[in-house]
Amino acid sequence: MNKPKQPVILIADDEKNILYAFKKTFRNEGKVITAVDGEEALKVIKAGIPSLVFMDITMPKKDGLSVLKEVSAEGIDIPIIIITGYGTMDTAVEAMKLGAFDYITKPLDIINLRVVASRALNVVNLKKELQDLELEVKDSYHENEMIGSHPSMQKIFKSIGLVANTPNTTNVFITGDSGTGKELVAKAIHRAGNHNSEPFLGINCTVLPENLLESELFGHKKGAFTGAIDHKKGKFKIAGKGTIFLDEIGDMPILLQQRFLRVLEEREFVPVGSNKPVAVEARFITATNQDIEKLMKKEEFREDLFYRLNVFHIHLPPLRQRKDDIPSLINFFIAKENKAMKKHIKTITDEVMKDLMSYDYPGNVRELKNIITTAVTQEQGDVITSRSLPLYFYKVDSSMDYKVPIKSVKLKEARSEAVRVFEEQFVRYILKLAGGNVTKAASMAEIERQSFQRLMRKFGIRSQDFRVTG
C-alpha cells in the first residue's frame, strides 16, 4: 500500500523569524516551502505546488489580500490561512469574503497553528463553500470600524463574513450589553452583503409608542387613523433588498410581535388601513441587551418569534471581558478624534493607560469612546494625562490613611486643628487627581475656583508641583 503523499505547506511572509517558526512547527507534518513576497507566493500557488498556504497580509510587491483575491478569482482550490499582525474587523471580513479558509493573528500560537493546519488539510472540501463568500472588496469603513484581537471578537468577525453572503431570508439575532456595538455588527453585515447598495434602516423599538411604531414599520394609508393625512411608506417597504435593523426588539409590544411574526413567516406585510399585502425583500437583523429567555418565561416576548429571529446568533462580549483590546481601541479613538478636531494627540501617559485598563466600563466600548473624546477635547498638549479625563472617572481612594490629630483636650481647639489637617490633605489629593489643573480641581471639589485658590495659599501649596510633565 502506497504511503499518502506528504502535504506541501507554503509559508509566505517577509519576516525570517516567522519562516523559521513555521519550519520548526511543521518539520514533521510535511514539506515546508517559503516565499518572501506576494508575487513569489502567487507564482507558487498558481503552479499548484502547495497543499496548504499560510500567508501574511503585509508583504512586499503584493499584499496577502491581493494574492488571495487573484487565487479566488481563478478558482484555485487550495486552503489559504491569512496571517495578520492586527485584528480589525475589516481585515477579518475581507479575508473571509475573499475565500480564506481561516486567519490567525500575531503573536502566533504553535498549538493553534497545528490545529488550524490539520483542519484545513482534512476539510479541503470546505474551501468550495468558503469560495462562495467571494465578494467585491470595499473601501475601509473607518467610521463604523470594529476593533478587536481577542478571540471572542475574531469569532464575531468571521461570523460577519459568513452570514453576509447568505440569502436575505437568513435572519440575524444580536445580543450583548448596551454599548458593545450591536448596531456596528448589523451595519458590517449589511456592508459585506450582496445588497450593500440598498438601504440600511435602523429603528429602536423603545422610542415610539405602539401605534406609531406599527406605522413606522408597516406604513399606512391616508385616513387610516387620526393624523394620517397622507400615504406613508414604512421601513419594510423603503428598505427594498437592503437591511432592516430593529434594536431593542425585546421592547416590541406583544400585539406588534404577532404581526411581525406573520411578516417573517410569509415575507409580506399589510400597511395600516390597507388590505393589500406587500412583499418584504430585506434582511431582518434584530438586537437586544435584555435576557430574552426571561422575557419569554414572563410571556413578555413570543417564543415562536424568537425562534424565527434567532436563525444566526451573534453575541457581543462586554469590554471588561476583552481588556486586551483596550489599547487598540484607545489608539483608534484618538486617531479618529484627532482627525475630527484637527488635533495632534500622540499618546497617553502610562498612568492613564493603567487607569483605563483597570476600569470595568459599565457602558462598554461606547463609554470608552466617550472618555477618549472628552480627553482629546480637554487636552491642550500632545499627550493625554489624568487631568484630561472626565471628572466622573476619578474615584475617591478609600484606602487613604487619614488620622484625626488630637492636639488639645479642648474640643474647639482640637476640632480646628483636625479641620486644618483635613483641608490640607484634601487640597493635595484633589490637585493630584486633577494633574495640577486648578480649575478642574475646584470643579471636582464643587467649590469656586477662588475658594480653592485661597485654600492653596493657606497651606502654601503650588499647583505646578502636581502637574504631569512630558
- CATH code: domain of residue 333: 1.10.8.60
Q: Residues 389, 450: one domain?
A: no
CA angle (131, 137, 139) in 5-degree steps: 160
Tell me whether residue 158 is in a domain.
Answer: no
DSSP letter at 247 equals E
Within 10 Å of residue 100's Cβ, how many Cβ atoms?
Answer: 27
Q: How confident is the model at residue 86 (pLDDT cuts 50, 70, 90)?
A: low
pLDDT, residue 419, reads 85
Q: Residues 242, 331: one domain?
A: no
Tell me whether residue 160 is in a domain.
Answer: no
Residue 133 pLDDT exceeds 60: no
Query: Would you say 225 and 273 are in contact if contact means Cβ atoms under 8 Å apart?
Result: yes
Q: How confident is the model at residue 403 (pLDDT cuts 50, 70, 90)?
A: low
Q: Residues 308, 352: one domain?
A: no
Strand 80-84 vs strand 52-56: parallel, antiparallel, or unpaired?
Answer: parallel
Within 10 Å of residue 466's Cβ, how many Cβ atoms?
Answer: 20
Q: Residues 337, 223: one domain?
A: no
In DSSP terms, 88 is beta-bridged to 147
Determine the average pLDDT of the residues in 423-450. 82
Tell me whether residue 379 is in a domain.
Answer: yes
Which pTM was predicted?
A: 0.59
Output Rg (C-alpha) for the chain, integer angstroms: 29
Q: Residues 139, 238: one domain?
A: no
Cis omega (within 30 of 0) on the bond before 107?
A: yes
Q: How confident is the model at residue 339 (pLDDT cuts 50, 70, 90)?
A: confident
Residue 176: give its domain's CATH number. 3.40.50.300
Q: SS3 breakdown of the chain: % helix, strand, coil, rounded to 5?
A: 45, 15, 40
3-state secondary structure 152-209: HHHHHHHHHHHHCCCCCCCCEEEEECCCCCHHHHHHHHHHHCCCCCCCEEEEECCCCC
Taken in order 124, 128, 132, 137, is the CA torsion positive or negative? positive
Q: Residues 304, 183: one domain?
A: yes
Q: Distance between CA atoms of 112 and 91, rounded to whole angstroms?
A: 19
DSSP letter at 389 equals S
Tell me whether residue 138 is in a domain.
Answer: yes
Tell me whether residue 131 is in a domain.
Answer: yes
Q: Residues 389, 443: one domain?
A: no
Last residue within a domain, chosen from 296, 317, 338: 317
Q: Residues 369, 443: one domain?
A: no
Q: Which range has the worst mean pLDDT, 22-36, 208-222, 321-335, 444-458?
A: 208-222
Tell me whether residue 148 is in a domain.
Answer: no
Q: Residues 59, 91: one domain?
A: yes
C-alpha cell at 218: 408597516
The count of C-alpha atoms lying within 13 angstroms of the C-alpha of 465, restricted to the half-sphere facing its C-beta, is 9
Tell me whether residue 41 is in a domain.
Answer: yes
Residue 442 belongs to domain spanning: 411-466
Q: Residues 301, 172: one domain?
A: yes
Q: Residues 112, 75: one domain?
A: yes
Last residue within a domain, chosen from 90, 111, 143: 143
pLDDT, residue 230, reads 63
Number of domains in the chain: 4
Residue 134: give its domain's CATH number. 3.40.50.2300
Tell me whether residue 157 is in a domain.
Answer: no
- Contacts of 17-23 with C-beta under 8 Å, sequence gap 24+, read 18/56, 18/83, 18/108, 21/108, 21/110, 22/54, 22/113
Last residue within a domain, chosen from 143, 175, 201: 143
pLDDT, residue 87, reads 57
Residue 310 pLDDT exceeds 50: yes
Q: Residues 417, 338: one domain?
A: no
Determine the average pLDDT of the residues in 251-278. 86
- Residue keyed to cell 483608534: 332
Q: Distance between CA atoms of 271 and 283, rounded to whole angstroms?
A: 19
Starting at the edge strand that comes first in sequence, how are the strands of the sheet with 243-247 ordered? 200-204, 243-247, 283-288, 172-176, 312-316
In DSSP terms, 102 is beta-bridged to 81
Query: Would you say 265 and 233 are in contact if contact means Cβ atoms under 8 Å apart?
Result: no
- Residue keyed to cell 493607560: 353
